[in-house]
A and B are shown apart, each in its own frame.
Chain A
């Protein structure tokens, strides 16, 4: 595989994405808005934490391994859950960016001239996969950094620093990147069938809903447990693997030229 070709496709896509005002603004506005709301909720939750005697039993049971005061335990739990909730940011950004990357090629009829060059299908596919992935993860990590610092500043009041910890590392370095890859693959898959970016985004949003359901379920079963987070991540990685195999087939040049309309 010629990584130079991958890089040419990647940089072209990135430049093209940045010429789209709607995408550019949604890459800024959505994360800022989402982060602001979460920070507000987190701070509001901190202000309204009750005394230790008011803590429900299930918090104490679930968080018995967490070596902090009762209020500290609740804050730890809330902050971890909101952190997982932040995975909405990369999922949404990945869906927006990647839906434009394939549909844009179709609308402008640029696929055939690309396939006439000495690029192979895997290089083209990899370029398309990485172009939405890197900026999405870049923005997400900035958002997570701000969120983590904010959480730490609050947790100082409970005499501990909440981040980094093992669960945080699993979410940030495993769960978020692999679920973003899953979203990009899904959107690439749908955009090969779609005629405009909106419909491919809508399709991938349909897939996003079950992911959210899994998230809420994970909250219910107290997914702050590292093992459960690892298990969730493993499911996502298996999904990545299966979807990668399907999507690679769709990026076969004959399919692209004859069926992508």
Chain B
């Protein structure tokens, strides 16, 4: 479990993070959303012990990060925003170097490299200098680097940024697989569809946490839980029926938009009995993107 308590980070006089509080449960995929400069990468750097917060406390598995950075870093895997590889080294040399720094022995490195390179279709490219790799291949290699030491906590900074849809899909599927293995994943992303698809909970950040919760919780919190009824004819008659039932509503064209109520079934019955043709009834759907835009505006 990751516990972040009142974390603040200043660079000189500039406060880039303030009053950051959240918990991430074991085995959870936690989305971290925010505009450029919101402090997403800084948060990841703090959580991985690369830099220190100006104030506040962080506990990972109840271990104080401040005094146990090496231990925490050995339990963490990081996919950085820029892949960052030695361009003249081949893929295996690169992964070997980082694996050694994570303390893996030669036999482990060999077997894991073979497993992951085959999993990500990089095996045939293992002897090619990384400088010749495509962006997608580098990102896959970066993912291998983040997980080769079997970390419990995985921090992914924009993992699918500027990837083609196919590679992006491979990465998303892999993130879901990591969750199935019980890994805790911190996913910083601009891609709100991706966050909605894979995250159990999300935090919306703009130097401080604006909102935090499950995507569906945030939707109902921001937009309410609204039902749309589309009808074909007689809007005045529809208005009268709704008024007599005492329902809060608004009519936009041929749509009745109303808060969810248990009386929805009797409303539909009344409309049909009064000769109104009801064509669609559905819950108003908002994407995480709409929530995000609403929050950060």
Q: Could you list which residues of chain A lie within 8 angstroms of chain B, going by C-beta atoms?
A: 5, 8, 12, 15-16, 19-20, 104, 108-120, 253-254, 257-258
- Whether the Cβ atoms of A16 and B73 lie closer than 8 Å is no
In the docked arrangement, what's the CA distance between A183 and B93, Å?
A: 30
- Whether the Cβ atoms of B89 and A118 lie closer than 8 Å is no
Look across to chain B and name the residue whose beta carbon is closest to the beta carbon of A115.
B50
- Whether the Cβ atoms of B73 and A118 lie closer than 8 Å is yes
User: How many A-B pairs fall under 8 Å by CB?
Assistant: 71
- Whether the Cβ atoms of B100 and A112 lie closer than 8 Å is no
In the docked arrangement, what's the CA distance between A163 and B115, Å?
A: 59
- Whether the Cβ atoms of A113 and B78 lie closer than 8 Å is yes
How many residues of B are counted as interface, with CB atoms below 8 angstroms from the partner's CB atoms?
A: 30
- Whether the Cβ atoms of A8 and B73 lie closer than 8 Å is no
* A118-B102 contact in complex given A8-B97, A110-B84, C-beta closer than 8 Å: yes
CB contacts under 8 Å to A, within B71-130, are 71, 73-74, 76, 78, 80, 82-89, 93, 97-98, 100-103
- Whether the Cβ atoms of B145 and A118 lie closer than 8 Å is no
User: Any chain A CB within 8 A of the CB of B280?
Assistant: no
* A116-B78 contact in complex given A8-B101, A19-B88, A110-B84, C-beta closer than 8 Å: yes
User: Any chain A CB within 8 A of the CB of B48?
Assistant: yes
Of B52, B80, B82, B103, the residue contacting A118 (CB under 8 A) is: B103
In the docked arrangement, what's the CA distance between A222 and B88, Å?
A: 48
User: Any chain A CB within 8 A of the CB of B45?
Assistant: yes
Inter-chain contacts of B52 with A (CB < 8 A): 254
Of B45, B86, B98, the residue contacting A117 (CB under 8 A) is: B98
- Whether the Cβ atoms of B101 and A112 lie closer than 8 Å is no
* A253-B50 contact in complex given A8-B101, A12-B97, C-beta closer than 8 Å: yes
Inter-chain contacts of B84 with A (CB < 8 A): 108-113
Of A15, A104, A110, A257, the residue contacting B50 (CB under 8 A) is: A257
In the docked arrangement, what's the CA distance between A12 and B85, Å?
A: 12
CB distance from A166 to the nearest CB of B (A): 44
Inter-chain contacts of B282 with A (CB < 8 A): none
Inter-chain contacts of B101 with A (CB < 8 A): 5, 8, 114, 117-119
